[in-house]
Structure 1
Amino acid sequence: MAARVLSTDMPQVVSPEQFKGVMRRLGSSVAVITSRHDARVNGMTATAVCSVSADPPSLLVVVNRANASHAMIRQGQAFAVNLLSQSQSDLAERFARRTPDPFSDVPHTLGVTGCPLLEECSGSLECTVVQETEVGTHTIFIGHVVSAKIGMAPPLLYHEGTYHALSALKRA
């Protein structure tokens, strides 16, 4: 079934600031999306990651077209999602900045796609790109999962501009 595109001619009644304010209320895991093209590697911090299907295993990432990772994913046709553990907020900050060599002194290996896999993560998934969809300033990359690694550390979470650790709710 082909994708159906809805009209974007409707008047804008929600400002970008209102939208961002509500979206900050959505708590999410923190990931570093890594990519590789030829000998170059890159990484970016993201919360826009979502499972698409378990059969076949696939997920999506959303990347701003102005971000260097966008071109790397498009050219390399692969990416890895490294789910950060609660002790890795420093890596979230590092990959959120434009650093000339973001992987220097960061323990990692290269996965089956050639994309960097960060050590001590809560988990990692390597994907090959199977579909791209441009929406506004971003591209949704859908990837077929070709490798998965489950870590033991609890995940790092992000809510209202702050990193958080996972804790269980106490029952009344």
Structure 2
Amino acid sequence: MRREEFLTSMRHLAASVSIISAKDSGGKPYAMTASSVTSLSMEPPSILVCVNKSAGIHKALSLGGGLCINILSKHQVDIANLCSSKDQENARFENNDWDNSELPFLKEAQSNIFCKIDQIIE
């Protein structure tokens, strides 16, 4: 990601809700509404994401691959609620909102930040 793209994406973060998405080693997609996403530095571009160990996505992220931070617009309340409900975990990808070609990402998100996991702190 170029510096300007990173800055543009981070400007939206302060007032937005995000959904973290990833796939496990078998290709199963996961998504969760994130309550803690923080920009850490510009050089190198770094972001901190906090994920509860009991979250379904935790195991997929612990493999150390990639993830997407989907920064939502104010019109995406329904998908934010869907991805925050443990009861709806299997229904999160049952619509056309997602592109699942590589890392799953929301096609209509305000911004999509594709990340490589560099470090996991337990």
Identity of aligned residues (%): 29
- In structure 1, distance between residues paired with 2:94 and 2:100: 14
Q: How far apart are the structure 2 equivalents of 1:76 and 1:109? A: 21
Confirm whether residue 104 of structure 1 aligns to residue 70 of structure 2: no
The Cα RMSD (Å) is 1.7
Structure whose alpha-carbon radius of gyration is higher: 1
Q: Could you say what secondary structure the match of 2:116 adopts?
A: strand
Q: What amino acid sits opposite 1:101 in the alignment? A: A
Matched to 1:110, the amino acid is N
List aligned pairs for 1:89-168, cutoff 5 A: 89-98=77-86, 99-110=89-100, 114-134=102-122
Give, in angstroms, the shift of residue 76 of structure 1: 5.2
| Structure showing greater relative contact order (alpha-carbon pairs closer than 8 Å, 6 or more residues apart) | 2
Aligned to 2:23: 36
Distance 1:70 1:43 in 2: 10
SS in 2 for 1:96: coil
Offset, 1:110: 3.5
Deviation at 1:106, TM superposition (A): 3.7
Q: Which structure 1 segments of 5+ residues have no match?
A: 1-26, 135-172
Q: How many pairs are equivalent?
A: 106
Say which SS state the counterpart of residue 121 (structure 2) adopts.
strand
Native 8 Å contact 1:35 1:76 kept in 2:
no
Q: Look up the match of 1:72.
A: 60
Structure 1 length normalisation: TM-score?
A: 0.57
The one-letter amino acid paired with 2:118 is V
**1:18 aligned residue:** none
1:34-73 Cα shifts (integer Å, max 9, x gaps): 0111220000001200111111111110000011111011
Q: Where in structure 1 do 4 or more consecutive aligned residues deviate above 2 Å?
A: none
User: Structure 1: how far apart are the matches of 2:73 and 2:108?
Assistant: 7
Deviation at 1:28, TM superposition (A): 4.9
Q: Which structure dedicates a bigger proportion of its chain to strand?
A: 1
CA shift, 1:97, in A, is 1.1
- Shift in CA distance, 88/66, structure 1 to aligned 2, threshold 3 Å: same
